[in-house]
Structure 1
Amino acid sequence: MDNQLLVSLAEKYGSPLYVYDAEKIISQYNRITNAFANVKSLKLNYAVKANTNVSILKLFKKLNSGIDTVSIQEVQLGLKAGFEPENIIFTPNGVSLEEIEEVAKLGVQINIDNISILEQFGHHYPNIPVCVRINPHIMAGGNHKISVGHIDSKFGISIHQVPLIKRVVENTGMLINGIHTHTGSDILDIDVFLAASEIILNEAKDFPNLDFIDFGSGFKVPYKEGDVSTNIEELGERLTTRFNKFCKNYGKDLTLMFEPGKFLVSEAGKFLANVNVVKQTTSTVFASIDSGFNHLVRPMMYDSYHHIHNVSNPNGRERYYSVVGYICETDTFGSNRRISEIREDDVLCFDNAGAYCFSMASNYNSRFRPAEVLIYEGQDYLIRKQESFEDLLKNQVIIDLE
């Protein structure tokens, strides 16, 4: 998406604004499928939590993707987008048995990540096949807040508790049809990912009724020039060889699954915001925009980096700015960034805004959440309206205190 297009979209739909490029989503999806072309059965399940817009989900359905969900509401969004239940996997954490039962009634693949629920579900529904999520106790790299495969993580059943899983299966007569693991986001070293995969494959051989093995995701995307990313092509070559050998020894061709989210949609997203004021202090030049961490919380929550550029003045003289929001507390998107000269009313663009950006937005400070636009085959489509004051009041029950 070129600068002129982005400025025109901000003018057309208002600011702030999320814009997604379908072509980039499709290319990322194809990149994974091509890397694993030599696997007899490959299934990608898009991680819905990354971006839950139904139009985005419909795009993945068009690509023959499945979806990975973590709440019954995400399951319902998937059904709304047209996914068949068998193309949805439910991978929650810490939810009630009642929620899992409700999802199971919809015919969705269940993935259970703790012994207590596994045992209860097995006693009540021994005929419903389930997947189990195993924690391999491996740090995959990246921000500690999104690393979920280590020994202190709340996610998954410890690799050391596999004998207990087998005891539950024996006692309940339940059927385990899948093994799952997910080490977390921003995988830098594919050797670490492969080490976790080896641990899971070693345990999987002792479960005789498997249909699939889900290796999660966490593939890293570049955030700035020169940044490293997961080498999907090398991973595809090496994991395919190992997985095909496992299937041969297992005596059955299983489906290799992944659940990418950020890898598929992060780079496709741009976040646009207008500059309200340029403020010079004794030490800093602030560019204050018409947004804040209510719309894009990742920099404040994860210290994540989003490249910021001035699409209104891309060829201007570069200066150093701290880009901040309008929330009434510390609200910084980037400090001491080198950006083409910023003027009031310029449009700034934040890259890598497709994943965990709008989906984590809020109405903090009673601000409206922004609109979303999808660029598909050269056309721009409004896929979510900007909120209004009526939306803020929609579910409030206002009582008369007179």
Structure 2
Amino acid sequence: MSTTIAPEVLKAAAAEFGTPVYVYHAEKIKEQFESLKSSFSACDVRFFYAAKSLTNIHILKYLSEIGSGIDCSSINEVELALYSGAKPENVLYTSNNIHFSEIERAVELGVHINIDSLSNLKKFGEKYKGTYPVGIRMRPNIMAGGNIKIATGHDKSKFGIPVTQLQEVLDIVNTTGLHIKTLHIHTGSEIKDVEVFVKGLSVMFELVPHFPQLEVVDLGGGFKVPYKPDEKGTDMELLGSSVAEAFKKFEAATGRHLQVWFEPGKYMVSECGHFVTSVNVLKETGDINFAGIDTGLNHLIRPMFYGAYHKIDNISNPDGPLKNYQVVGYICETDNFAEDRPLPEVREGDLIVIRNAGAYCYEMASNYNSRFRPAEVLYRDGKLSLIRRRETMEDLLRTQLF
């Protein structure tokens, strides 16, 4: 089955569910996951999908069905993963500056846990000692990622315990008898350079001798996904072979076998997503042609938040003459989706599709301007299924007290 969605399918989704609407292609997610498994076939590896990219429980359930674990960034994501049917042993909670009660709840639920602060590590050791194997998120002090807002491993980042505080970590471990099963790092997102992962791995290997019970080195995620037509993603085959070779050499030198974990998010779901919108109005101002669509930064904030590029197609008039447009939203705020973008001639009522809309798109949506969040639809086995209905006025009022 093709892992692209035909325009006719997107038009059918718009007709049945209205616009704007998110449409996700299940088989594209599976294709990405199979690509990962193939690229890392020479490694002892596990993958945990980074749920923060897209947490719809139908997506989480599908990922579990095809064999992926689920990585969570909040205790609520942990609860959602388990609710969707994932088994505790296939769920990982990588915490970030959280209250210790969330970690206690994660222990109750029986999932894997990575702790990212000395404070919580000490509390964990004092309460559980060596009874619950746990991971530590270290900060490798490596700058990486496509944008400073998504770089997480540098020396000014809030994430993880700096490697320079190793002795403090060891003091806690030795004092409390903690069982450290995993060492984790995550250097950022949109990482194209394979050497970043290799460098991070070398940092981890230097720490391994301090943790005799260690079983896993976790390299996080952050694989580059192509957004622009001429972009290339991370060379996964090269990354897989480089990581396999590094682990092989380490095992030969030390006699220690370690498993490697990854938490891909955007890589898994970005390309599966298609955001279908309708053109409300056209405006001409000087030499600018505005195409105003029925959505805004409240539904897809990446272009305004990160300056992110998303490919845009006019599926209603694909053969029209090319004109340059500024594609804008309906929010009372500047919300550009594209500037000076060549598109086939746009007419009011045309369907405009924003591509690569699976990761951090609906997930970062809001009710700004009291707008309803859109529906989500899953395209699987040639069928469209509604997996989240469009919000209504009752949803806006539901949590308000009268």
- Give the alignment's TM-score, normalised by structure 2: 0.97
Shifted more, 191-200 versus 295-304: the winner is: 191-200
Displacement after TM superposition at 1:248 (Å): 4.0
**What's 2:33 paired with?**
29
1:115 equivalent in alignment to 2:118: yes
2:105 aligns with one of 102, 107, 114: 102
Displacement after TM superposition at 1:189 (Å): 1.1
1:193 equivalent in alignment to 2:197: yes
Structure 2 unaligned segments of length 5 or more: list them: none
2:394 aligns with one of 384, 390, 394: 390
**What's 1:381 paired with?**
385
CA contact (8 A) 1:139 1:150 kept: yes
CA contact (8 A) 2:139 2:154 kept: yes
Identity of aligned residues (%): 47
Distance 1:213 1:387 in 2: 42
2:342 aligns with one of 322, 330, 338: 338
The size of the alignment, in residue pairs, is 397
Structure 1 unaligned segments of length 5 or more: list them: none
Shifted more, 4-13 versus 323-332: the winner is: 4-13
SS, match of residue 266 in structure 1 = helix
CA contact (8 A) 2:145 2:222 kept: no
Displacement after TM superposition at 1:205 (Å): 2.9
1:13 equivalent in alignment to 2:17: yes
Distance 2:251 2:91 in 1: 23
CA contact (8 A) 2:20 2:375 kept: yes
**What's 1:280 paired with?**
284
Distance 1:271 1:253 in 2: 44
Distance 2:378 2:248 in 1: 38
1:299-378 alignment, distance < 5 Å: 299-378=303-382
- Give the alignment's TM-score, normalised by structure 1: 0.97
Deviations 1:121-142 (A, max 9, x none): 1011112111000111111131
Displacement after TM superposition at 1:226 (Å): 1.1
Distance 2:68 2:349 in 1: 40
**What's 1:91 paired with?**
94
Displacement after TM superposition at 1:103 (Å): 1.3
SS, match of residue 304 in structure 2 = helix
2:245 aligns with one of 227, 241, 251: 241
Q: CA RMSD in A?
A: 1.0
SS, match of residue 286 in structure 1 = strand
**What's 2:138 paired with?**
134
Displacement after TM superposition at 1:249 (Å): 3.9
Distance 1:158 1:3 in 2: 48
CA contact (8 A) 2:250 2:256 kept: no
SS, match of residue 267 in structure 1 = helix
**What's 1:42 paired with?**
45
**What's 1:74 paired with?**
77
**What's 1:148 paired with?**
152
2:228 aligns with one of 212, 224, 241: 224
Deviations 1:115-168 (A, max 9, x none): 111011101111211100011111113111000000000001101111211111
